[in-house]
Amino acid sequence: MYASEAAPGQQTLADPPIRVMVVDDSAVVRGLVSRWIEEEPGLEVVARHANGKLAVEDVMRSVPDIVLLDIEMPVMDGLEALPLLLRARPGMRVLMVSTLTKRNAEISFKALALGALDYVPKPDSNREITIELDFHREVIQKIKALGPAGTRPGRGEGSHFAAAGARSETSQELPAFRRRLFSLVPPRVIAIGSSTGGPQALGSLLGLLSPSLPRVAVLVAQHMPPMFTTVLAERLARVTGRDAREGTDGERLRPGVVYVAPGDHHMTVTRPEAPCLHIGREPPVHFCRPAVDPLFASVAATFGPAALGIVLTGMGHDGAAGAFAIAEAGGSVIAQDEASSVVWGMPGAAAAGACAAVLPPAEIAESVAKLIKGERP
């Protein structure tokens, strides 16, 4: 592959290696994760530290591109170290590493507000870490996605739930031969898929959309583990002032409610005559559970032209097939634009043939509000 042909997030022979600092109080974790990184072409470990204070003192010497930052550490924990690291080296990408507790989920969301770009859920014990393939895969995938080839400095900084701001001059128009028309039918449901960077984009989008939400049900599939989706729903409730909660199996959809797919469960819609949620542990899709494609496909089958799909920032291509299903059923699909995305994998894949528009969150909110009122954007 020539350098000019590299896909987003992929390195080429011309790219320097992604420099990684590993910060964790467990020597086992530091050693194991460092070995995984060193085994990957294009990645290199430049420093390993047992606490945040040592990392802050060393960051200007080791100049990492990515920091894997544990939350719970002695001397200086990850949340205290994070702003000091970013102040010392602005534009550096920080990936939080935390165990699956509600407390750590809440801390991870605070870290995103302080400038971390994403997080990786860590198994509870060192033994589990050594055998947990998902943890290994996710660490490597996210380092590559957030490295210099996959994103640019400054992405994801600022308030976790800040509004997207004024109309962007970088909004992307799809070529005419790929652009689809918006449905003439006002949406009865909004299905949203997101991953890396998604919590920030979701908060911005739904906060702006709050006045329009009483007319539609909102379904969210965010790639997140248990506990994290609980905290996400709580935060969306605060930012929207609406009823936002994890979906429950058999629950009937109601307008004005935001339903978040629970971690480690898929969420789909059944019974077109009286749409209800199905929450289940069917096999992962694209290594994800919840996944976007099953949600979108069920929404397309249930609501047809009254379905609206939105694909926000995230790595991979989950949601692309489901977006196509919504478009083929006569519904509308909007993708987040590349300039405002932390990683443009998911929205970029959906944009290839399924979308009516590619926009930043503020402009997505404007378009959706018009669609709900029966107007054309």
From 34, 98, 195, 341, the catalytic residue: 195
Query: Could you give the CA distance from residue 254 to residue 16 in angstroms, rounded to a whole number?
Result: 51
* Distances, alpha carbon 283 to alpha carbons 192, 277, 290, 321, in Å: 20, 17, 10, 17
DSSP string, 255-305: TTEEEEPPTTSEEEEE-TTS-EEEEE-PPPBTTBSS-HHHHHHHHHHHHGG
265 is catalytic: no
206 near 239, Cβ under 8 Å?
yes
> String of b and e for 130-161 (b: at least 16 CB within 10 Å)?
eebeebeebbbbbbbbbbbbbbeeebbeeebb
| The pair of three-digit structure tokens given for residue 86, joined into one six-digit string | 């970013």
From 318, 337, 340, 341, the catalytic residue: 318
24 is catalytic: no
> String of b and e for 353-367 (b: at least 16 CB within 10 Å)?
bbbbbbbbbbbbbeb
Query: Could you give the CA distance from residue 102 to residue 115 in angstroms, rounded to a whole number?
Result: 20
Quick one: which of 236, 231, 234 has its CA closest to 106?
231
* Distances, alpha carbon 189 to alpha carbons 36, 152, 332, 335, in Å: 42, 33, 11, 16
77 is catalytic: no
From 49, 160, 223, 266, the catalytic residue: 223
List, by residue number, the catalytic residues.
195, 223, 318
